[in-house]
Amino acid sequence: MARTLHDLLAAFARHGGTPDGGVRRLAASAEDGAARDLLAAEIRRRGLGLAVDPIGNMFAMAGLVPSVREAVIVGSHLDSQPTGGRYDGTYGVLAGLLAVEAVAARAAAAPHAARRNLVLANWTNEEGARFQPSLTGSSVYAGTLPGPAAGDLVDGEGVRLAAALDAIGYRGEAPPSFEPARYVELHVEQGSRLEAGGIDIGVVTGAWAARKTSLVFHGEPSHTGPMPMERRRDALRAAARAIDLHYREIETSGTGAHASAARITVFPNSPNVTPSRVQVWFEFRHEDEAIACTLGDRFLAGAKSAVEPLGVGIEIAADERRGAAALDPHGAALALATARDLGFSAVSMKTVAGHDALALQRRVPSSLMFVPSRGGLSHNAAEFTDEAALDKGLAVLVELLWRMVTEAR
């Protein structure tokens, strides 16, 4: 019996499912491997071809026009954050699978209507929770991250991504031979604008810029008991001072920017040793790239001054500037028209979060659509989008893909 979208979401949530109803399915983990196996089975059950490239991206191919190499790609990712929910990424993959099936059936009933083929993609390590950077598989496919370098990424235990993919059986031989014409991604919003406005579909036109900086604080190990306070060079105390400065910078800027200090590592991480090396990952996000970068510059200057009296040094381990990205305007216009033609409310918007569509835009015209998220909650076990909203997104996706595979080449 055919599974509905909601049945599929429930089935995939069991792989990496957590006691609180969430999903922990880190990239190239055993749980990711099990979810990939289930996706492969669903792909084959629908008579689609399956290919896996060397960085683990999965492609399910529907040959609507076998004589043509051009294809529209639809997809998202199956990996999650450590505290993930069941919708983030997985919804786009499963809605994409059902949409490919529906469009293929429609093409079979209307011979010669299709001008392009259709491909479903599951991109490797979109989240960047286990291996950094995020958007790994889609960046390799877009040509902005070399495949060998991506394979050499290591997790916190020193495991290479290539070895982890080998372990779960999803390190392929070569990229598939189709030529991408367009990419479409359907995702839960991970924000509250659509829910607050009672809007069915958000069509993303671009993304906020981000300044992502990782600082290492170098102090000196010493006994936490007898060492006199004035002689301590406590790297964790310096990091705490910088974190507080980071948030005060955003609170006083009045820019509407978003900021976080969301990851920290401590060495030697003993309760009886003053920390001698601490690394913290900071970020600023804003729609205006200049504002994100200016906030970052001010923070770096302030952090150095703030920790200097503590006898702790600062090293910039990474300083990444992501510009405000634009997605394909034709695809956005087509998505808006499609949603409204189906009787759904739709609005243009920008995304604050990163998505595979943003990486792929560097190679192929890309489109991104959102459905509402309850309370804007994401990367959380309580993430939720109701079935009616999910179904509306799927309906728009099917019609949009049909228009893309049948429009003039």
Q: What is the pLDDT of residues 80-128, one digit of tens each?
A: 999 999 999 999 999 999 999 999 999 999 999 999 999 999 999 999 9
Looking at the DSSP bridge assignments, the partners of residue 387 are none
* Residue 408 · residue 350 · CB < 8 Å: no
DSSP 348: E
pLDDT above 70: residue 191: yes
pLDDT above 80: residue 409: no
> Which CATH number fits the domain that encloses residue 147?
3.40.630.10
3-class SS at 393?
helix
pLDDT at 2: 55
Mark whether 201 and 317 lie in a shared domain: no
Domain that holds residue 308: 209-322
Mark whether 282 and 236 lie in a shared domain: yes
DSSP 407: S
Which residue among 296, 322, 348 closes a domain?
A: 322
Tell me the average pLDDT across 386-403.
97
pLDDT at 324: 84
Mark whether 139 and 31 lie in a shared domain: yes
Tell me the average pLDDT across 339-367.
96
Mark whether 226 and 329 lie in a shared domain: no
Looking at the DSSP bridge assignments, the partners of residue 201 are 346
Q: Residue length, the chain?
A: 409
Mark whether 184 and 239 lie in a shared domain: no
Which residue among 322, 351, 386 closes a domain?
A: 322
Mark whether 65 and 175 lie in a shared domain: yes
Enumerate long-range contacts of 286-291, CB under 8 Å, 24 or more apart: 286/208, 286/209, 286/255, 286/256, 286/257, 286/258, 287/208, 287/209, 287/324, 287/350, 288/209, 288/324, 289/209, 289/321, 289/323, 289/324, 291/255, 291/257
Mark whether 147 and 131 lie in a shared domain: yes
pLDDT above 60: residue 1: no
pLDDT above 90: residue 261: yes
Mark whether 57 and 110 lie in a shared domain: yes
Tell me the average pLDDT across 196-203.
98
| pTM higher than the cut 0.95 | no
| Burial of 315: CB neighbours in 10 Å, binned 0-12, 13-18, 19+ | exposed
Query: If we measure between CA atoms, which residue out of 199, 148, 163 comes closest to residue 29?
Result: 163
Mark whether 69 and 168 lie in a shared domain: yes
DSSP 409: -
> Which CATH number fits the domain that encloses residue 273?
3.30.70.360
pLDDT at 31: 98
**What is d(CA 165, CA 177) in angstroms, rounded to the nearest whole number?**
21
Mark whether 103 and 237 lie in a shared domain: no
pLDDT above 80: residue 62: yes
Question: E strands of 130-251, at which residues?
Answer: 179-188, 201-207, 209-218
Phi-psi region of 63 (alpha: psi -120 to 50; beta: other; left: phi over 0): beta
pLDDT at 22: 96
3-class SS at 126?
coil
Query: If we measure between CA atoms, which residue out of 77, 85, 31, 84 comes closest to residue 58?
Result: 77
Mark whether 309 and 161 lie in a shared domain: no
Which residue among 262, 290, 322 closes a domain?
A: 322
